Amino acid sequence: MSRRRIEYGKDVAATNDGSEASNTTRALIAVLHWGVSVIHNSTYLAMRRDVPIAAIIALLLVAPIAGRGQSPAQTDAPATGKPASSATYPKVGEILDRYEKAIGGRDAWEKLTSQAMMGTIEVPSADLSGTVMVHEKAPNKFMTAVIINGAVFQQGFDGIQGWTDDPKNGLREQTGPELAESKRGADFLHAFKMRRVYTSMVVTGVEKIGDRDTWVIEAGVPEGGDPTKMYFDAKTGFLLRVVSQNHDADGVSESRDEFDDYRDVDGVKVPFVWRQANGDTTYVLTFSEVHHNVDLSDSEFAKPAVQ
């Protein structure tokens, strides 16, 4: 598969029906060129690895976005399935093997050098919508941007340094657990390394998500704190939900991320719908374009220069 430059709205590898580059998309590209010269946050463990968009989502809760409503979104707690004897639980390795196979397998992912995603973000409780773009480059770089009502939120990792830039905190470098989360999330092949990345992994039971049974794995994170909980569809093997810690400038909070509408793009499976809940507010990310082996410069992931 050859590398190529991406022009959103054209040469689409997989899209929602009728999608075209919008004025919002063009505006986002222009804004990002001002900051970091990029055409490029959470969710946590979508597809093959953590994409640390959760930090950006958390910032949207407190940033001064004009027109944001006050009514919190209500999210239903998952129904718990009938308890199963621990003797009947599959092993961690069996669940992870099925997940790796479901998303296309390591060989298919290793053929990819980058991924670029474009879509929309909605805040139903506040009647707000905006644009989200995620650029990732193997082995360990990412940059995410969100624009809502003219407010721009960016987060990136250049392989060594993690950074965020938003209206509330301005441009700053990540440190400590926040940096550790970004570093883990930047690994392009995270899904195939989870046995090594986490300090412990144990199957804790079965739970219902909607009408689907899921096996739940708790994974200890190296930086300490509450374990990450991952919910894998017992039938398809896909990852449907992740509950994890999210560190940012304001401290630590719990983030819940759900993934749906998995589609085949270049031989790998990608979820086109992400639902992210932080506190009482839910965000819905719907991706319309996903491209692989895009020509992305390393400079796109570097911390922007101070203006």
pLDDT tens by residue, 80-123: 444 455 668 999 999 999 999 999 999 999 999 999 999 999 99
User: Phi/psi zone of residue 81: left (φ > 0), alpha (ψ -120 to 50 degrees), beta?
Assistant: beta
Strands 170-173 and 162-166: antiparallel
More confident residue, 105 or 178: 105
HSE value, Cβ hemisphere, 13 Å, CA-based, for 143: 23
Determine the CATH number of domain 23-64+79-301.
2.50.20.10
More confident residue, 9 or 274: 274
Which residues are bridge partners to 38 per DSSP? none
The pLDDT of residue 288: 98
In sequence order, what E strands does the chain have? 114-123, 128-137, 141-148, 151-157, 162-166, 170-173, 200-209, 212-220, 228-233, 239-248, 251-265, 268-278, 281-292
**pLDDT tens per residue, range 68-84:** 444 333 334 333 444 45
Whether residue 277 is predicted with pLDDT greater than 60 in this model: the reply is: yes
The pair of three-digit structure tokens given for residue 142, joined into one six-digit string: 């990412």
Confidence of residue 10 (pLDDT cuts 50, 70, 90): very low
Q: Mean pLDDT over residues 35-55, rounded?
A: 39
Task: Determine phi and psi for 124, rounding to 5 degrees.
Answer: -55, -40
